[in-house]
Amino acid sequence: MQQDSDIRLVLKSIRKIARAVQLYSRRIDQDIGLTLPQYAVLDCVSAIGPVTGRAVAREVGLTPATVVGILDKLESKGLIDRHRSTKDRRNVLTSITSDGARALVAASPLLGHAFERAFLAMSQADRANILELLDRFADLALKDDANSGSDPDAPVGADDEDDDRHGDQHRLRAQSQQLSPRQSRAAGSRTKP
């Protein structure tokens, strides 16, 4: 039946992607000492700026409890700094340190520039279609997952006064330009007032 064949092909493609992610993760862990989730959280903190753990959790699609554990490890490695917000002392904000920025730069070549080049070589319409379809597929796959703890549609920093404006501006600029987080940060630094 065609439907069964299609499902097998989709699962095969997902396994290929998972294998590539596993290989990248192993290389980053061996060479830099970061797991892929640690890299994702560190990259998010770098891209958004001073940010709460809740906002990081929403952005990277992990539970807040998982993100707190990752932030603890990153802080113990000296890659991030956490401090109380001056606007609302109840919020703890996370910022990247210079060591954290160096770790991101060192990890960047290990993340597969070939993938980035291939993706950026596609037309804007193709990239938008892939992103939309992958997002929809992920939402459907996680629909019944009671343990996900994150809302894939929640805006970054929606309930966090300190990072709401900057997080949303960064996210919208990145979406409109379809850039990687690193490219988006570079674009953001050129367009900030």
Task: Give the range among 7-16, 33-42, 141-150, 179-188 with minimum mean pLDDT.
Answer: 179-188
Amino acid at 187: A
Phi, psi of 99 (to 5 degrees): -65, -40
The region, left, alpha or beta by phi > 0 then psi within -120 to 50, assigned to residue 35 is beta
The answer as to whether 1 is a domain residue is: no
Does any domain span residue 179?
A: yes
Three-class secondary structure of residue 152 per DSSP: coil
pLDDT higher than threshold 50 for residue 97: yes
pLDDT digits (tens, 9 = 90+) for 110-133: 666 667 777 889 999 999 998 898
Domain containing residue 171: 36-186
- Would residue 4 count as lying in a domain? no
| C-alpha to C-alpha distance for 193 and 181, rounded to whole angstroms | 20
Interatomic CA distance for residues 134 and 121, integer angstroms:
18
Q: What is the maximum span of the chain, computed from C-alpha positions, in angstroms?
A: 61
pTM (two decimals): 0.61
- Does any domain span residue 7? no
Q: Does pLDDT of 46 surpass 80?
A: yes
- What pLDDT band is residue 145 in, cutting at 50, 70 and 90? low
Q: Of the candidates 52, 91, 98, 49, which has an alpha carbon nearest to the alpha carbon of residue 71? A: 52
Q: For 136-162, what is the mean pLDDT?
A: 54
In this prediction, residue 125 carries a pLDDT of: 94
Return the pLDDT at 113.
67
Q: How many domains does the chain divide into?
A: 1
Residue 187 has pLDDT above 60, yes or no: no
Residue that wins the pLDDT comparison between 163 and 71: 71
Q: Is the residue at 78 inside a domain?
A: yes
Residue 183 is predicted with a pLDDT of 44
pLDDT for residue 32 is more than 60: yes
Closest listed residue to residue 164, CA positions, set 174, 156, 154: 156
For residues 145 and 64, the model is more confident at 64
Strand order in the sheet with 80-84: 51-52, 92-96, 80-84
By the 8 A CB rule, do 34 and 42 touch? Answer: yes
What is the CATH number for 55? 1.10.10.10
pLDDT band at 67 (very low <50, low <70, confident <90, very high): very high
Q: 136, 58 in Cβ contact below 8 A?
A: no
Decide which of 42 and 5 is more confident.
42
3-state secondary structure of 80: strand
The answer to whether residue 8 is domain-embedded is no
What's the mean pLDDT when you consider all of the chain? 76
169 burial level (CB within 10 Å; 0-12, 13-18, 19+): middle
